[in-house]
């Protein structure tokens, strides 16, 4: 008897109460982005490297004979370090670089602040 | 009492203006202290280029205990001494490096007296410091292999290195080559031999460098991996 | 506080000997006038005079092989001579003074003793080498101990003496010394008058009879190493007698003489007890040679801090180093102070180095080196080594 | 407090007055930035329409004034007591004497100087307050009053004002085709912007980090303008010099000893645990004595070279005699101490040019680096124990 009654309770249709929508946060996009991710590759000078290796292979790894290629490669690496450093600095400060398509979160925030959502 | 504090304050050139000292890593100097330019000729260069004016307002760090303005003082040799040093025993390390220089001179002079040709004689470098510089320059690698994990597999990826790092590796190799010897040969003698060899672009260390380059060449397909 | 660093610096050279900067050879690049400033062609020590002070003279290869083949030139200096391809000594005041004295001595009077003393590395041993060269060239019979510390502190082998109770023999070293003696004096020992005066009975079968050649006596010591120490004593007595007779004029030279009076030797009895140097057999012979009870000879000895243990290296003065016993044994003697380089000697030495291409010149080198080395010859050599 | 006093001596460039009169000229009102004493009305205002804010302010001001008055009296009494204790005349007892007395009576070894006992006039001890910023009817004097930080925003306002003016000027010059004179260009090397705390003190307002950053950015932009030298005074008001050179050059005049030689003694030359004193005699022959020994006092070459360094750098090697006494520490430290002493003493015998070179060579800086202490819970100063999971 007891079992039966409990079964009855279960089979009873649950009354559907409509969940009222609450607007916890305003229904619009925020004007800022958080600074997550943002990993960047620092692969560079692949071409120069392969040229250098080709020269090395030709000359049995004698560096003296490939000084031109080696210098080119090293210059490339040095330039790359310099540019990436300045770029990083600008990104950290949030200074916008004209023509730059990949932006850091700080740069984005600066941009978003300049052009806020229409209210 | 206060008179004295005042004088000390002036003397020390310390900037106490801001109570917060601008930290510079673990250094005990604030970050706006410039490193001393202790060689007379490098100061002359600065005066010529007019950059000395910029330094005139900046406080200088005290010169280190192994820095002097003497012509015999060589920063690279000092660095080598420091790399050779164990447990802060600088006197021993310095002695070893100086004996190594002495040995270089002996070996070169021996060669000098053996050669009969006047022109060949001029070719022989009798300055141990220039030999050291040449040796280090010749042993500098261009690339390095770094293990990078990709999909659970470790790849040895060739990566270009900075000049400073290359210099360190070169000196490390030279010292290691000096230590790799029979027990009857002294470190300073072996190091001298290695330095002379490396200065002539031969020897074990040069071979080591070329081996590294060979490996890099073999692994050049991974070069585009680098940090993600 | 500093003892450790002192020890460290002198560790490598402790068993060797401190040198003086002196050497030279074939002119390379310098003009003759400049050459004159630091080098003299006068290789006869007899003719060295005050005007040669601070100059380098060359020891010929034969002389060197004769006198210094078994030591007498400190090892660090020996290496230098090899590098420089020549053996050159600087003519310095102390050695010149002694040579002058030796030249003018009245040899019918008892033996005069000279004691060279000075700080570590001031050039005592090389002064002695210069005097030895003089002695060799002017026909002295040379009795030369290259470095006494080698016997008392680094002996090759020791055994209890069979002939004398309580004494210890250093037979290997003694035999080596006899060989040294023989090579240094072979031209004199062939003198027909050089005969032994008494019979020497070594064992039942071995006898060196009176009237046999001194050379035989020496050879016996070399061949029968067991008797080498006793041979030295016998030889010393014979030398004294022969000198008294006027057959030889003898020059006794001992480097590190104070080791004869320093009690802490590294010579042990069979019971592992430390032996006092006076209880070493060979000491007897040389003690009697440095005594003044004979004539027609001279003795030049050096006293050196390095001949004794490090912990006792307090002073370089003879009274301290010889102790009361040694001082009284030598008294009266002529003390000769070997000092650091003078200004002239320093520049001459550096000029020599430059000529030999040993230092790479730069402006201000002389002053810097002088300041750092304090004009001490050994230190100067060390300071110049990596330049 | 002591430090601040000294600073005043060192940097005469910095305005000494603490009165906030920077903006006085601009909006014509001077009352908002004066000291309390001047601005507190002595008689009760008779007007009825006095605002609530003014009332509250007046109450507060009176309270503060009473408090300060009490403090001042106490200070005066204390000063006289102290003078009596020290057995001096209370009338001529100065602040310096007070400091001496406090130092003498309450010797303190506390590391932090601020934590040591002190006795200063109450004006220095208690922070300054802003005077009334509004009139009796509650109307603020300053047009930026409602920003909450009127002085700060006034400075920004000034910057922008100057910027506009300078740009206008530059345009006019370009039209006239005149290039800015490069000799006149503003040289800020050797100066740095005042730090946040000093700025707060100057403005009598607390400002946030972002505000400070903004302030610096604005100034950087202002100084980048080619004609910025025209407003030099305004810019230098917010900078402070990095290093006062005059003090380095200020060599003591040498004394004359009985032989007619010049000599100078440098006491307390420090390096690590070593302390020494150095006497330099001018004209000399290059003799050096260390603890009654020659250069042989130092066994290692490096220490000897250290002593040589200042001498060869100034070319005085064989021109002076040196006597030194040194104790404590090891050979390297002792050599370092003597090196500094010799360099410091040599200033009296060489010209300004060489002194400046010596400074750049790092000879005149005291090397105050010392061994770092061992910390509990680790092996040494930095090295940690081997990490064990448990």
> Phi/psi at D281 (nearest 5 deg)?
-115, 130
Q: Which of B169, B152, B171 is nearest to B160 (CA)?
A: B169
| SS percent in chain B: helix, strand, coil, step 5 | 55, 10, 35
Question: Are C387 and B72 within 8 A, CB to CB?
Answer: yes
Alpha helices in D192-300 (DSSP H): 196-203, 209-223, 232-236, 245-249
Strand D262-271 and strand C159-160: the pairing is unpaired
Total domain count, chain C: 1
Give the one of C357, C368, C385 whose C-beta lies nearest to B102's C-beta: C385
Per-residue pLDDT, A112: 87
Question: Are A49 and B158 within 8 A, CB to CB?
Answer: yes
User: Which tokens in the block code for residue B167?
Assistant: 């210099």
User: Which tokens in the block code for residue C152?
Assistant: 């008392």
Query: From the candidates A37, A49, A56, A68, which should be mutated to test the interface with B, based on the most B CB atoms within 10 A?
Result: A49
Q: Which of D331, D274, A93, B46 is nearest to C9 (CA)?
A: D331
Whether B143 contacts chain A with CB within 8 A: yes
State percent of chain C over pLDDT 90: 27
- Residue B147, domain extent: 133-222
Q: Is residue B164 part of a domain?
A: yes
Instruction: Give D384's DSSP letter.
Output: B
User: Which tokens in the block code for residue D262?
Assistant: 């010049």
Whether B114 contacts chain C with CB within 8 A: no
- Average pLDDT on B118-123 reads 87
Alpha helices in D15-125 (DSSP H): 24-27, 36-39, 52-86, 95-105, 122-125
User: B223 to chain D nearest CA, in Å?
Assistant: 35
DSSP C150-204: HHHTS-S--EE-SSSTT-EE-HHHHHHHHHHHHHHHHHHHT-TT-B-SS-EE-SS
Q: Which residue would you say has higher pLDDT here, C20 or D208?
A: D208
CB atoms within 10 A of CB D331: 21
Residue of D nearest to B21 (CA): D195
Q: What's the pLDDT tens digit per position in C118-161?
A: 999 999 999 999 999 999 998 899 999 988 888 888 888 888 88
Beta bridge partners of C145: C254
Chain B neighbors of A53, CB-CB under 8 A: 216-217, 220
- Average pLDDT on D282-311 reads 92
Q: Is residue B114 part of a domain?
A: no
Strand C250-254 and strand C207-208: the pairing is unpaired
Q: What's the pLDDT tens digit per position in D301-360?
A: 999 999 999 999 999 988 999 999 999 999 999 999 999 999 999 999 998 889 989 999
Distance, CA of D255 to chain centre: 31
Q: Which of C183, C138, C85 is nearest to C298 (CA)?
A: C138
Q: Which of B66, B65, B104 is nearest to C386 (CA)?
A: B104
Q: Which of B94, D305, D287 is nearest to C372 (CA)?
A: D305
- Average pLDDT on D136-143 reads 81
Rg of chain B taking only CA atoms, in angstroms? 23
Q: Is residue B113 part of a domain?
A: no
Per-residue pLDDT, B210: 92
Q: Is residue B170 part of a domain?
A: yes
Beta carbons of C111 and C102 less than 8 angstroms apart: no
Query: From the candidates D270, D357, D373, which should be mutated to test the interface with B, based on the most B CB atoms within 10 A?
Result: D357
Which pLDDT band holds residue D247 (cuts at 50, 70, 90)?
A: low
Give the one of C357, C386, C387 whose C-beta lies nearest to B112's C-beta: C357
CA atoms within 13 A on the CB side of C16: 17
Per-residue pLDDT, C94: 92
User: B23 to chain C nearest CA, in Å?
Assistant: 36
Domain boundary among B18, B49, B70: B70
Q: Over 50: is that where the pLDDT of B194 sits?
A: yes
Whether C363 contacts chain D with CB within 8 A: no
Which pLDDT band holds residue A5 (cuts at 50, 70, 90)?
A: low
Per-residue pLDDT, D112: 86
C-alpha pair distances (Å), D26 with each of C284, D21, D31: 108, 10, 13
Per-residue pLDDT, D309: 94
Q: Over 60: is that where the pLDDT of D121 sits?
A: yes
Give the one of D301, D318, D330 whose C-beta lies nearest to C372's C-beta: D301
Chain B neighbors of A49, CB-CB under 8 A: 143, 158, 160, 220, 223
CA atoms within 13 A on the CB side of B41: 5
State percent of chain B over pLDDT 70: 89
Q: Do chains D and C touch (3 or more CB pairs under 8 A)?
A: yes
Whether D236 contacts chain B with CB within 8 A: no
Q: Over 90: is that where the pLDDT of B128 sits?
A: yes
CB atoms within 10 A of CB D263: 19
Per-residue pLDDT, C167: 87
Residues near D45 by Cβ (< 8 Å), separated by ≥ 6?
Answer: D136
Q: Which of residues 93-132 of D touch B (CB under 8 A)?
A: 96, 99-100, 103
C-alpha pair distances (Å), C328 with each of C19, C112, C286, D291: 28, 14, 15, 35
Whether B150 contacts chain A with CB within 8 A: no
Distance, CA of D79 to chain centre: 28
- Average pLDDT on D375-379 reads 93
Q: What's the pLDDT tens digit per position in C12-44?
A: 333 334 343 333 344 444 555 655 678 888 888
- Here the CATH number for the domain that contains residue C173 is 3.40.50.300
Q: Which residue would you say has higher pLDDT here, D40 or B93?
A: B93
Look up the pTM and report it: 0.79
Q: Which residue has the tokens 């950059």?
A: B51
Instruction: Give A83's DSSP letter.
Output: H
Question: Taking CA D40 as the corner, what is the angle to CA D34 and CA D44, rounded to the nearest 5 degrees?
Answer: 155
CA atoms within 13 A on the CB side of C208: 23
Per-residue pLDDT, C24: 38
Q: What's the pLDDT tens digit per position in B138-186?
A: 999 999 999 988 888 898 999 899 999 999 999 999 999 999 999 999 9
- Average pLDDT on D52-62 reads 85
Question: Are B70 and D305 within 8 A, CB to CB?
Answer: yes
ipTM: 0.83
Residues near D137 by Cβ (< 8 Å), separated by ≥ 6?
Answer: D49, D50, D51, D54
C-alpha pair distances (Å), D231 with each of D161, D166, D262: 11, 9, 48
- Average pLDDT on C175-180 reads 90
Query: What is the spatial distance between Cα C358 and Cα B104, in angstroms, rounded to a whole number?
Result: 11
Q: Over 70: is that where the pLDDT of A58 sits?
A: yes
Q: What's the pLDDT tens digit per position in C186-225?
A: 888 888 888 888 888 888 888 888 888 888 888 888 988 8
- Residue C11, domain extent: 3-384
Per-residue pLDDT, D172: 93
Element (H, E) at D263: strand D262-271
Strand C159-160 and strand C88-90: the pairing is unpaired
Per-residue pLDDT, A37: 62
Instruction: Tell me what the pLDDT averaged over chain B comes to.
Output: 85
Which pLDDT band holds residue B1 (cuts at 50, 70, 90)?
A: very low
Region of A68 please: left (phi>0), alpha (psi -120 to 50) or beta.
alpha
Which pLDDT band holds residue C335 (cuts at 50, 70, 90)?
A: very high
- Average pLDDT on D179-200 reads 84
State percent of chain D over pLDDT 70: 86
- Average pLDDT on A30-47 reads 76
Question: Is residue D134 classed as helix, strand or coil in its secondary structure?
Answer: strand
Per-residue pLDDT, B56: 80
Residue of D nearest to C365 (CA): D312
Length of chain D as a residue count: 390
CA atoms within 13 A on the CB side of B149: 1
Per-residue pLDDT, A2: 54
Q: Over 80: is that where the pLDDT of A39 sits?
A: no
Query: What is the spatial distance between Cα C132 and Cα C236, in angstroms, rounded to a whole number?
Result: 18
Instruction: Tell me what the pLDDT averaged over chain C comes to.
Output: 84
Q: Which of residues 9-28 of C touch D (CB under 8 A)?
A: 9
Whether C3 contacts chain B with CB within 8 A: no
Chains that touch A (3 or more CB pairs under 8 A): B
Which pLDDT band holds residue B227 (cuts at 50, 70, 90)?
A: low
> Is 3.30.230.10 the CATH classification of the domain at D249-360?
yes
Question: Is residue A70 classed as helix, strand or coil in its secondary structure?
Answer: helix
Per-residue pLDDT, C20: 38
Question: Are C371 and D295 within 8 A, CB to CB?
Answer: yes
- Here the CATH number for the domain that contains residue B195 is 1.10.455.10
Q: Which residue would you say has higher pLDDT here, C42 or C328?
A: C328
Q: Which residue has the tokens 């922070």?
A: D127
Domain boundary among B20, B55, B70: B70
Q: Which residue would you say has higher pLDDT here, C386 or D183?
A: C386
Which pLDDT band holds residue A18 (cuts at 50, 70, 90)?
A: confident
User: Which tokens in the block code for residue D254?
Assistant: 């040498």
- Average pLDDT on C44-63 reads 88
Query: From the candidates D301, D305, D318, which should be mutated to test the interface with C, based on the most C CB atoms within 10 A?
Result: D301
Query: What is the spatial distance between Cα C87 and Cα C80, in angstroms, rounded to a whole number?
Result: 9
Question: Are B99 and C385 within 8 A, CB to CB?
Answer: yes
State the maximum Cα–Cα separation within chain A, in Å, rounded to a whole number.
Answer: 100
Q: Over 80: is that where the pLDDT of B42 sits?
A: yes
Which pLDDT band holds residue B24 (cuts at 50, 70, 90)?
A: confident
Q: Over 50: is that where the pLDDT of D27 sits?
A: no
Question: Are B91 and C8 within 8 A, CB to CB?
Answer: yes
Out of D17-26, D66-75, D123-132, D194-203, least confident range: D17-26
Chain D neighbors of C347, CB-CB under 8 A: none
Query: What is the spatial distance between Cα C122 and Cα C114, in angstroms, rounded to a whole number?
Result: 17
Query: What is the spatial distance between Cα C248 and Cα C242, in angstroms, rounded to a whole number?
Result: 6
| SS percent in chain D: helix, strand, coil, step 5 | 50, 10, 40
Per-residue pLDDT, D281: 93
């Amino acid at each position: 008897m007891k079992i039966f009654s409990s079964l009855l309770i279960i089979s009873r249709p649950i009354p559907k109460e409509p969940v009222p929508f609450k607007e916890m946060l305003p229904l619009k996009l925020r004007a800022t982005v958080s600074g997550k991710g943002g990993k960047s590759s620092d692969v560079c000078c692949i071409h120069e490297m392969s040229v250098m290796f080709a020269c090395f292979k030709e000359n049995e790894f004698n560096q003296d004979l490939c000084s031109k290629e080696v210098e080119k490669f090293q210059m490339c690496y040095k330039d790359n370090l310099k540019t990436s450093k300045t770029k990083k600095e600008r990104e950290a400060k949030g200074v916008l670089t004209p023509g730059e398509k990949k932006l850091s979160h700080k740069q984005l925030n600066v941009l978003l602040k300049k052009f806020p959502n229409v209210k | 009492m206060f008179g004295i504090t005042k004088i000390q304050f002036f003397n020390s050139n310390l900037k106490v203006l801001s109570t917060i000292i601008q930290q510079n890593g673990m250094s005990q100097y604030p970050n706006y202290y410039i490193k001393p330019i202790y060689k007379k000729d490098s100061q002359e260069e600065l005066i010529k280029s007019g950059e000395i004016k910029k330094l005139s307002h900046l406080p200088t760090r005290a010169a280190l205990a192994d820095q002097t303005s003497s012509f015999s003082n060589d920063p690279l040799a000092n660095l080598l001494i420091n790399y050779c040093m164990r447990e802060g025993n600088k006197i021993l390390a310095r002695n070893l490096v100086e004996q190594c220089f002495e040995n270089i001179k002996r070996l070169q002079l021996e060669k000098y007296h053996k050669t009969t040709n006047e022109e060949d004689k001029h070719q022989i470098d009798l300055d141990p410091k220039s030999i050291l510089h040449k040796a280090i320059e010749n042993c500098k690698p261009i690339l390095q292999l770094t293990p990078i994990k990709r999909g659970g597999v470790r790849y040895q990826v060739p990566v270009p290195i900075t000049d400073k790092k290359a210099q360190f590796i070169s000196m490390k190799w030279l010292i290691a080559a000096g230590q790799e010897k029979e027990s009857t040969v002294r470190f300073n003698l072996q190091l001298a031999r290695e330095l002379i060899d490396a200065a002539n672009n031969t020897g074990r260390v040069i071979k080591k460098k070329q081996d590294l380059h060979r490996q890099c060449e073999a692994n050049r397909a991974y070069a585009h991996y680098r940090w993600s | 506080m500093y003892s450790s660093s002192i020890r460290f610096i002198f560790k490598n050279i402790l068993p060797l000997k401190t040198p003086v900067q002196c050497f030279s050879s074939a002119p390379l690049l310098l003009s003759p006038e400049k050459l004159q400033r630091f080098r003299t062609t006068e290789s006869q020590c007899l003719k060295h005079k005050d005007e040669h002070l601070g100059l380098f003279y060359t020891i010929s290869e034969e002389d060197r092989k004769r006198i210094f083949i078994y030591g007498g030139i400190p090892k660090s200096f020996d290496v230098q001579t090899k590098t420089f391809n020549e053996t050159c000594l600087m003519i310095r005041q102390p050695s010149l003074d002694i040579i002058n004295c030796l030249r003018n001595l009245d040899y019918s009077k008892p033996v005069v003793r000279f004691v060279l003393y000075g700080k570590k590395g001031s050039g005592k041993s090389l002064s002695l080498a210069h005097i030895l060269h003089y002695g060799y060239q002017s026909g002295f019979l040379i009795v030369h101990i290259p470095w006494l510390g080698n016997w008392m502190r680094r002996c090759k082998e020791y055994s209890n003496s069979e002939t004398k109770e309580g004494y210890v023999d250093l037979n290997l070293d003694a035999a080596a010394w006899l060989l040294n003696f023989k090579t240094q004096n072979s031209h004199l020992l062939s003198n027909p008058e050089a005969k032994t005066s008494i019979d020497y009975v070594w064992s039942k079968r071995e006898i060196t009879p009176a009237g046999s050649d001194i050379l035989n006596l020496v050879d016996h010591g070399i061949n029968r190493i067991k008797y080498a120490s006793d041979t030295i004593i016998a030889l010393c007595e014979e030398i004294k007698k022969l000198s008294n007779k006027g057959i030889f004029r003898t020059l006794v030279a001992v480097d590190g003489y104070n080791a004869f009076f320093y009690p802490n030797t590294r010579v042990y009895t069979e019971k592992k007890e430390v032996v006092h140097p006076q209880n070493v057999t060979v000491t007897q012979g040389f003690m009697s040679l440095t005594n003044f009870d004979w004539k027609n000879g001279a003795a030049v000895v050096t006293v050196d801090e390095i001949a004794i243990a490090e912990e006792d290296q307090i002073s370089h003065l003879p009274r301290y180093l010889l102790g009361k016993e040694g001082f009284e044994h030598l008294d009266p003697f002529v003390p000769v102070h070997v000092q650091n380089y003078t200004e002239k000697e320093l520049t001459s030495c550096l000029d020599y180095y430059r000529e030999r291409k040993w230092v790479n010149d730069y402006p201000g080198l002389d002053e810097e080196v002088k300041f750092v080395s304090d004009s001490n010859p050994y230190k100067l050599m060390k300071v110049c080594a990596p330049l | 407090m002591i430090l601040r006093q000294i600073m005043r001596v060192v940097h005469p460039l910095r305005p000494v007055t603490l009165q906030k009169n920077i903006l006085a000229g601009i909006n014509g009102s001077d009352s908002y930035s004066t000291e309390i004493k001047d601005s507190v009305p002595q008689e009760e205002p008779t007007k009825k329409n006095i605002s609530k804010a003014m009332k509250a302010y007046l109450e507060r001001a009176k309270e503060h004034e009473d408090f300060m008055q009490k403090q001042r009296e106490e200070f005066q009494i204390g000063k006289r007591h102290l003078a009596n204790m020290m057995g001096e005349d209370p009338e001529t007892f100065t602040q310096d004497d007070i400091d001496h007395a406090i130092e003498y009576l309450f010797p303190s070894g506390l590391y932090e100087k601020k934590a040591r006992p002190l006795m200063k006039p109450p004006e220095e001890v208690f922070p300054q307050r802003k005077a009334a910023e509004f009139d009796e009817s509650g109307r603020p004097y300053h047009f930026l009053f409602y920003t909450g930080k009127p002085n700060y925003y006034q400075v920004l306002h000034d910057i922008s004002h100057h910027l506009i003016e300078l740009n206008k000027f530059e345009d006019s010059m370009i039209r006239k085709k005149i290039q800015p004179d490069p000799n006149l260009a503003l040289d800020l090397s050797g100066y740095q912007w005042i730090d946040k705390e000093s700025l707060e003190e100057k403005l009598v307002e607390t400002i946030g980090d972002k505000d400070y950053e903004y302030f610096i950015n604005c100034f950087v932009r202002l100084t980048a303008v080619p004609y910025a030298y025209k407003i030099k005074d305004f810019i230098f008001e917010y900078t402070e010099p990095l290093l006062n050179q005059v003090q380095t050059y200020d060599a003591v005049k040498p004394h004359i000893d009985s032989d007619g030689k010049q000599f100078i003694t440098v006491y307390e030359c420090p390096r690590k645990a070593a302390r020494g004193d150095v006497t330099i005699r001018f004209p000399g022959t290059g003799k050096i004595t260390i603890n009654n020994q020659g250069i042989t006092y130092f066994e290692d070459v490096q220490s000897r070279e250290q002593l040589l360094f200042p001498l060869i750098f100034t070319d005085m090697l064989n021109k002076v005699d040196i006597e030194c006494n040194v104790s404590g520490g090891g050979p390297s430290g002792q050599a370092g101490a003597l090196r500094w002493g010799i360099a410091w003493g040599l200033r009296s015998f060489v010209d300004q040019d060489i002194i400046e070179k010596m400074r750049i060579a790092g000879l005149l800086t005291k090397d105050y680096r010392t061994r770092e202490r061992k910390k509990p819970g680790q092996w040494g100063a930095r090295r940690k124990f081997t990490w064990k999971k448990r």
